[in-house]
Amino acid sequence: MQEDVRAFVASCVKCQKNRPFKDQPVVLCPVPPPSNALSQWDMDLIKLPETEDGYNYLIVAIDHLTKWPEVQPLKSKTAADVLVSSKMIKNGLRKTLEGRHKEWPKFVNRVLYGIRLHRPRSTRQLPYKLLYGFDARFSLDNKLDQLNQVPDDDAETTEEADDERLRVFLQGVDKHNEEIDNCRSEARENIIIEQSKQKTTYDAAHAACPFKVGSKVLLHSS
């Protein structure tokens, strides 16, 4: 029965004339993530309610690897003003403003801070850590502080001791940079995995074009 119905519809002229044909991409083509931080940016321009100071747009830039965001309020959208993108910025502002829509420039930094410390599904790592190599802190206690301590008064202060402290410090720097590279490599692999999942879902929902070279088709008069 189903095959007979399909065959009838396929041969029905009225059905073919009134059947909507969606000209959609067959497959999704993800953009390969870069290997280096701050080397490739996604950009967008968001229109927001005009403020008393005349700001009407928000330019947004997202680093493709670390997901680090940067934004700048704008009063116009001329080519000279436009530089940078993200729905997360707009959604974050919407949640934060709570009715104060014309005061959005005051809350941009707060939303940015939250996004920089948010672990996205694509990288599974914090943008702040991917960019700087350590977690955000309110105190000066990063990993290199202990290796760069000023010696105590009773500590050995010979030239050999100073050279040893410098050697240990530089070893710490090298190890720290190695950890950053490893984190970024892992983030890049996670992005590729997430892109593959998105591509599979997208491609499954978009049927391939039924026409082939040489197929007979019904043309609508323009």
Lowest-pLDDT choice from 25-29, 103-107, 141-145:
141-145
Say if 145 falls within a structural domain: yes
Please check whether residues 103 and 145 belong to one and the same domain: no
187 pLDDT band, cuts 50/70/90, is very high
* pLDDT at 69 > cutoff 60: yes
Domain that holds residue 104: 34-116
Residues 172-196 have a mean pLDDT of 88
Pick from 62, 89, 116: which residue ends a domain?
116
Pick from 116, 140, 162: which residue ends a domain?
116
Please check whether residues 81 and 53 belong to one and the same domain: yes
38-68 pLDDT, tens per residue?
888 888 888 888 888 898 888 888 888 998 8
Please check whether residues 135 and 184 belong to one and the same domain: yes
Please check whether residues 91 and 149 belong to one and the same domain: no
Which pLDDT score is estimated for 176?
A: 77
Please check whether residues 103 and 63 belong to one and the same domain: yes
Say if 184 falls within a structural domain: yes
Please check whether residues 106 and 131 belong to one and the same domain: no
Please check whether residues 142 and 110 belong to one and the same domain: no
Please check whether residues 112 and 127 belong to one and the same domain: no
Say if 17 falls within a structural domain: no
Distances (CA, A) of 75 to 10, 14, 58, 78, 198: 55, 52, 9, 9, 36
Where residue 110 sits, what CATH number does that domain have?
3.30.420.10
85-102 pLDDT, tens per residue?
345 666 666 666 667 777
Say if 60 falls within a structural domain: yes
Say if 10 falls within a structural domain: no
Lowest-pLDDT choice from 30-39, 140-149, 198-207, 209-218:
140-149
Whole-angstrom distance, CA of residue 24 vs CA of residue 167: 60
Which pLDDT score is estimated for 192?
A: 94
* pLDDT at 222 > cutoff 60: no
Find the angle CA(80)-CA(81)-CA(84) to the nearest 5 degrees.
Answer: 115
Say if 99 falls within a structural domain: yes
Q: Is 203 exposed, middle or buried (0-12, 13-18, 19+ CB in 10 A)?
A: middle
Please check whether residues 74 and 47 belong to one and the same domain: yes
Please check whether residues 136 and 95 belong to one and the same domain: no
Say if 13 falls within a structural domain: no
**What total number of domains does the chain contain?**
2
139 pLDDT band, cuts 50/70/90, is very low
* pLDDT at 75 > cutoff 90: no
